Amino acid sequence: MSSSPGSGTATSAPAQRSMGDLVRAAVSGWLGTALEFMDFQLYSLAAALVFSQLFFAGDDPGMAVVLAMATYGVGYIARPIGAFVFARIGDRIGRKKVLFYTILLMGAATTLIGVLPTYDQVGLTAPILLVLLRLAQGFGAGAEISGAGVMLSEYAPSNRRGLVASLVALGTNCGTLFASAIWAILLAVMMEADVIAWGWRIPFIASAIIMLFALWVRFNLKESPVFEERTDVVDGKALSRTDLVQLATQTNDIRTLESLQRKPIKAIIVSFLLRFGQAGNSGLVQTYLISFITVTLAMSKEIGPEVVIVSSLIGFITIPLMGLLGDRFGRRRMYIIMSTLSLLVIVPALLLVNTAEATPVFVGYALIHNISVLGLASMENISIPEIFGARNRYTLTAVVREIAAIIATGVGPIVAAAWVAAATGSIVPIMVLMGIFTASALVAAIWAPEWTGRDLTDPRAAM
Measured at the alpha carbon of residue 293, what is the angle toward residues 292 and 298, in degrees to the nearest 5? 100
Nearest to 94 by CA among 259, 236, 277, 256: 236
pLDDT in tens, 344-354: 999 999 999 99
Query: Cβ contacts of residue 21 below 8 Å, gap of 6+?
Result: 155, 222
- Taking CA atoms, 181 is separated from 46, 173, 289, 308, 345, in Å, by 13, 12, 17, 9, 26
Res. 9: pLDDT tops 60: no
Q: Would you say how long the chain is, in residues?
A: 463
**Residue 387's pLDDT band (cuts 50, 70, 90):** very high
Give the whole-angstrom CA distance, residue 402 versus residue 84: 9
Residue spans of beta strands (DSSP E) within 249-358: none
Predicted pLDDT of residue 90? 96
Q: What is the pTM of this model?
A: 0.84
Run of H or E residues at 270 = helix 265-283
Alpha helices in 156-263 (DSSP H): 161-189, 192-194, 201-219, 225-229, 241-251, 254-261
Predicted pLDDT of residue 193? 82
Three state DSSP letters for 428-445: HHHHHHHHHHHHHHHHHH
The phi and psi torsions of 88 (rounded to 5 degrees) equal: -60, -40
3-state secondary structure of 165: helix
Predicted pLDDT of residue 59? 53
pLDDT in tens, 261-319: 999 999 999 999 999 999 999 989 987 898 889 888 989 878 888 898 899 899 999 99
Measured at the alpha carbon of residue 308, what is the angle toward residues 217 and 152, in degrees to the nearest 5? 30
Sign of CA dihedral 174, 272, 76, 48: negative
Q: Are 146 and 36 in contact (CB under 8 A)?
A: no
pLDDT in tens, 132-147: 888 898 898 889 889 9
Q: Are 145 and 33 in contact (CB under 8 A)?
A: yes
**Residue 390's pLDDT band (cuts 50, 70, 90):** very high
